[in-house]
Structure 1
Amino acid sequence: MKTPGPPTRARIVAAASKLFYAEGIRSVSVDAVAEKAGVTKRTLYYHFASKDDLVAAYLAMRDQPNLALFMRWFAETEGATPEKVRGIFRSLAKSARHPKWKGCGFLRTSAELANMPGHPAIRIGAAHKKSFEGWLRGVFEADGCRDAATLARQILLLLDGAFSVELLHRDPSYMETAGEAAFALVAAARPAP
């Protein structure tokens, strides 16, 4: 008996995710997504009212897996909170060495849609970054760090800056350097022993 494949909508989003991440949202046509998903353009539009809706679904699909990945890297790194935060950056540097690595899909999409601040994908990207910042804030509060909200924002800025500079230079050592700065910030904010 043949096992049914994923539902049509999920196949479309998976195809869009691969293409959008690899090539960018503006350079990928709806026809290309439909072809990769193995559906007609009409079927694609049955599930998504517009390409904008498909772009939003692509980012929404990345949200929880990306957050879970950062949390896993944090948890798997040995040591106290400063080491664990640095571990996120080191894991990102390792990922950036892979030839298919294209950076942060949320940042790349927001750059492509910079002139469309009300776009649903921009809102999803902003919510993703706020979720990451909120998670870090909780981590820092639990660790007794001073001004956990500001510290979480500083680490997010280091992370997103590292993503951007890495795309320009294709040198993962920028991620590692940002990780060292994050380590220093977190270590300085912790309560004295």
Structure 2
Amino acid sequence: MGQTVHARSEAAAPSESPVRQRILASASRMFREQGIRAVSADRILADAGCAKVTFYRHFPTKDDLVVAYLEAELDDARRVVEAAALLPESARMEALARAVGDEMCAPGFRGCPFINAAAEYADPDHPVRAVVTRFREWLTGEIAARLEALGVDDAEDRAAEIMMLRDGAMVAGYLTGDVEGVTAALQRSVGAIVGRSI
């Protein structure tokens, strides 16, 4: 459908200051390309061209910045799913499956940002993990709703299976670079679960 699950927009809410937007844009790009722990606050503020006091005025800790980054990724994912909701019911699951492939084509792709963040933040009670959990519960619920609309039995269980396939596809896409092959395999697998070709 021509969009990514986590569209790479740098748009921010009108209430956000240009400096905050610039910091978040720099951090988001660097986190995606290099990982979260590998990128220091000093490197982000140098890239964003702001003073340390300005940086910490907007983000008191680096963890606050990581949470904001993941919240922005979640907002982008919601926009893609909302766009898919405008399609005919029969095309919505295909659109979601294709969106995974589109994301793997994004410059600097190195895997799902939520899976990567979870790997770097082991504490399940950490605020970063709370955003990861919210993303996964939301996306699983969206998939289940679409399966129910298609009349698929045990929609919640099937949605959990599709999420596992999505996770595997994201990892395989990063490790192999075979975006077309991984996307096609994901579509076939989701089709098998749904009981129809997508």
Q: Taking structure 1 as the reference length, what is the TM-score of the superposition?
A: 0.82
1:130 aligns with 2:125: no
1:19 aligns with 2:19: no
Shift of 1:110: 1.2
User: Paired residue for 1:158?
Assistant: 165
Give CA deviations for 1:8-27 in whole Å, capped at 9, x if unaligned: 22222122111111111111
What amino acid sits opposite 2:105 in the alignment?
R
1:111 aligns with 2:122: no
Deviates more, 1:52-61 or 1:139-148: 139-148
User: Paired residue for 1:169?
Assistant: 176
Q: Tell me if the contact between 2:81 and 2:96 (Cα under 8 Å) persists in the aligned partners.
A: yes
1:185 aligns with 2:196: no
Q: Tell me if the contact between 1:163 and 1:175 (Cα under 8 Å) persists in the aligned partners.
A: no
Q: Closer, same or farther in 2 for the Cα pair 1:90/1:61, shift >3 Å?
A: closer
Q: Tell me if the contact between 1:86 and 1:180 (Cα under 8 Å) persists in the aligned partners.
A: no
Shift of 1:34: 0.9
Give CA deviations for 1:92-126 in whole Å, capped at 9, x if unaligned: 3244234432221111111122x332221111011
User: Paired residue for 2:74?
Assistant: 63
Q: Which runs of 4+ in 1 moved over 6 A?
A: none
Q: Tell me if the contact between 2:22 and 2:48 (Cα under 8 Å) persists in the aligned partners.
A: yes
Give CA deviations for 1:110-149 in whole Å, capped at 9, x if unaligned: 1122x33222111101101110111112222223221111
User: Paired residue for 1:97?
Assistant: 105
Where do 5+ consecutive residues of structure 1 fail to align? 189-193
Mapped partners of 2:118, 2:99: distance in 1 = 23
Q: Tell me if the contact between 2:104 and 2:170 (Cα under 8 Å) persists in the aligned partners.
A: no
Give CA deviations for 1:26-63 in whole Å, capped at 9, x if unaligned: 11110111122221112111121211111111101110
Shift of 1:71: 4.3
From 18, 23, 41, give the equivalent of 1:7: 18
Q: Tell me if the contact between 1:59 and 1:124 (Cα under 8 Å) persists in the aligned partners.
A: yes
Mapped partners of 1:135, 1:79: distance in 2 = 13
**Rg (Cα) greater in structure:** 1
CA RMSD of aligned residues (A): 2.2
Residue identity over aligned pairs, in percent, reads: 31
What amino acid sits opposite 1:18 in the alignment?
R
1:142 aligns with 2:153: no
Q: Taking structure 2 as the reference length, what is the TM-score of the superposition?
A: 0.80
SS in 2 for 1:53: helix
Q: Closer, same or farther in 2 for the Cα pair 1:58/1:166, shift >3 Å?
A: same
Give the total of aligned pairs.
180
Where do 5+ consecutive residues of structure 2 fail to align? 1-15
What amino acid sits opposite 2:29 in the alignment?
K
